[in-house]
Amino acid sequence: MSTVAQLDEAETAAVKAVVRLESVSKEYPGGVVALRGVSLEIGYGELVAIVGPSGSGKSTMLNLIGTLDRPSKGSVHIDGRDVAKLTDRQLSALRAFRIGFVFQQFHLASGVSARDNVSDGLLYSGVSLSERRERAEAALNRVGLGHRLHHFPNELSGGERQRVAIARAVIGDPTLLLADEPTGNLDSVAGAGVMELLRELHAGRTTVLIITHDREVAAELPRQVVMRDGQVAT
């Protein structure tokens, strides 16, 4: 039972933190428990690695933080909002305006130029096509691909593709950038380049959350959250 005083306290804490998980559990149909009572707080402007072996529940955590899924138990606050109280439409708006995603498989549309792939990052934000393209060019410049605007994904290297995906994630200036194994499909040189870029974005005040199984990658980041068997191991 929570009192009014406790609620106020929770609200203030939620505003301070861009991500706030409170004894969050996730159980999938069939009885698989992916997360067991995880509590975690990530402040605005932090650069955090969530690290752990496969099956440790880190991908489930990304889905919950990215509001792509809802917890079975516990509460998730993103950017000060209780996910449980938001409708599917509101969650979509939250993702459109506040959260950027970077995936291990890039998820770029083939046969579509780098610029148009990036401009799709604003497709659901009500921005006109010409402005989307303009901002896409700026975003591609920001990730060092200003010379690759009209290339198709299959004409780009793996590292360049991931940079395009990152440009798409940051084109809307999200509060929170979630990267799921961003270097997982890249060789070490390209991977280092992508990590460098993510650090630069963080320096530009974006909260960056990187999920990785690679302890070396995680060790370079200011804060690590280690996951094991669905729990935070600290």
List contacts with other proteins (CB under 8 A): 63, 66, 68-69, 79-81, 86, 88-97, 99, 101, 103, 105, 107, 109-111, 120-121, 123-129, 168
| Per-residue tokens: 62 | 């990304």
> Of 129 and 233, which CB lies nearer to other proteins in the complex structure?
129
In 3D space, the residue among 132, 210, 144 whose CA is nearest the CA of residue 171 turns out to be 132
Using an 8 Å Cβ cutoff, are 56 and 230 in contact? yes
Tell me phi and psi for residue 46, to 5 degrees. -80, 160
Tell me whether residue 134 or residue 220 sits nearer to other proteins (CB atom).
134
Q: How far is the CB of 156 from other proteins (least distance, A)?
A: 17
Instruction: Give the C-alpha separation, 85 to 106, whole Å.
Output: 31
In the sheet that holds 73-78, the strands lie side by side as 32-43, 17-28, 73-78, 81-82
Q: Provide φ and ψ at 30, rounded to 5°.
A: 105, -5
CB 117 → other proteins: shortest distance, Å?
10
Q: How far is the CB of 97 from other proteins (least distance, A)?
A: 7
Measured from the CB atom, the residue of 91 and 217 that comes closer to other proteins is: 91
Query: Whose Cβ is closer to other proteins: residue 31's or residue 126's?
Result: 126
**Residue holding tokens 């010379």?**
147
Residue number with CB closer to other proteins (127 or 149): 127
Minimum distance from CB of 34 to other proteins (Å)? Answer: 11
Q: How far is the CB of 121 from other proteins (least distance, A)?
A: 6
Rg, C-alpha atoms of the chain: 18
Kindly state the smallest distance separating residue 96's Cβ from other proteins, in Å.
Answer: 2
Cβ 184 vs Cβ 216: under 8 Å: no
SS3 202: helix
Closer to other proteins by Cβ: residue 68 or 84: 68
